[in-house]
């Protein structure tokens, strides 16, 4: 069964409408006969991890194409030169869908490929790579799906999933204890995570027994000290200042999670192209 997060038909419709702006594809209409038929392959130009193949298929179907064969599935490793999807049908329709399908496929595969690099850095540790809400507006479910395809896990999908008490909430509530008590009273069943900037703050919030403590912009050494202080009483997540080159040091500090906004907000695309064969 296909994950419901894989396909967003409304987004596809908006993307195609954005391309046409109520007019025609003037290049294709001018140069290609309306009954022209072609076969086209979506081909990986670089190696990586695939995500978004179902969005690509749905984009092709949205413009009336039905003869579609998927050669790879989401989450699969792909090599340069691999054919990912083949479509046969009206040439104008293929070219109308081309850019939109590739935009989804390249972007989501880029996120999956970037996530896979981070996950590989964690191999042999207990640390899990998680994303954040630093996603493209309107693309959150797709981008978080791509993170999972790369082997990562998801933090909150929405603000209603769990509480994350940060410095601004603490300031507005009049203190960390007040903020924690307010959340626990209003939403007793919701998980609560508290952000701390120092080890002293960590010691202050630990008696509150939050479900998770976020160590913000701490060094690997500070994270290791935090692990010792907590002694398994709650889960720890590190975030801020973490890059691929130092990710292993954070993982080896003993924290349970690292949260990486760059998985979604800074992942480069995976280069994928379309090769058309006119018939």
CA 44 from centroid of its chain's CA atoms: 20
CA distances from 16 to 6, 97, 150, 273 (A): 18, 7, 27, 18
Measure the CA–CA gap between 213 and 203, rounded to whole angstroms: 11
Long-range pairs, 218-224, Cβ under 8 A, ≥24: 220/246, 220/249, 220/250, 220/252, 220/253, 221/253, 223/250, 223/253, 223/254, 223/255, 224/253, 224/254
Annotation marks residue 41 as catalytic: no
The three-class DSSP label of residue 189 is coil
Of the residues 72, 88, 133, 166, which is catalytic?
Answer: 166
Retrieve residue 199's tokens: 């080890």
Choose the catalytic residue: 74, 195, 237, 256: 195
Q: Decide if 144 is catalytic.
A: no
* Annotation says 166 is catalytic: yes
Which of 134, 156, 235, 248 is catalytic? The answer is 134
Q: Does 235 qualify as catalytic in the annotation? A: no
> Catalytic: which of 99, 133, 235, 248?
99
- Number of Cβ within 10 Å of residue 273's Cβ equals 12
109-120 burial, b if ≥16 CB within 10 A, otherwise e?
bbbbbbbbbbbe
195 flagged as catalytic: yes
DSSP 267: P
How far is the CA of 267 from the CAs of 63, 94, 199, 245, 263, in angstroms? 29, 27, 31, 15, 6
The catalytically annotated residue of 8, 54, 216, 256 is 216
Please identify every residue annotated as catalytic: 99, 134, 166, 195, 216
């Amino acid at each position: 069964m296909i994950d419901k997060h894989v396909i967003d038909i409304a987004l596809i419709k908006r993307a195609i409408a954005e391309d046409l702006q109520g007019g025609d594809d003037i290049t294709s209409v001018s140069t290609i006969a309306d009954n022209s038929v072609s076969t086209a392959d979506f081909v990986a130009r670089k190696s990586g991890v695939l995500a978004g193949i179902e969005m690509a298929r749905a984009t092709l179907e949205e413009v009336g194409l039905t003869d579609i064969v998927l050669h790879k599935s989401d989450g699969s490793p792909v090599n340069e030169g691999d054919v990912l999807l083949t479509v046969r049908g009206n040439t104008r329709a293929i070219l109308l869908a081309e850019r939109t399908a590739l935009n989804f496929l390249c972007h989501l595969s880029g996120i999956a490929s970037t996530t896979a690099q981070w996950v590989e850095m964690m191999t042999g540790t207990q640390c899990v790579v998680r994303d954040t809400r630093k996603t493209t507006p309107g693309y959150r479910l797709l981008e978080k799906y791509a993170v999972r395809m790369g082997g990562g896990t998801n933090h909150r999908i929405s603000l209603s999933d769990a509480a994350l008490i940060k410095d601004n909430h603490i300031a507005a509530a009049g203190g960390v204890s007040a903020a924690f008590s307010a959340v626990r009273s209003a939403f007793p069943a919701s998980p609560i995570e508290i952000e701390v900037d120092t080890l002293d703050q960590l010691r202050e919030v630990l008696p509150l027994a939050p479900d998770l403590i976020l160590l913000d912009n701490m060094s690997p050494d500070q994270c290791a000290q935090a692990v010792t202080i907590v002694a398994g009483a709650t889960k720890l997540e590190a975030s801020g200042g973490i890059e691929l080159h130092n990710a292993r040091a954070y993982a080896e500090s003993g924290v349970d999670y690292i949260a990486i906004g760059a998985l979604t907000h800074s992942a480069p695309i995976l280069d994928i192209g379309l090769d058309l064969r006119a018939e």
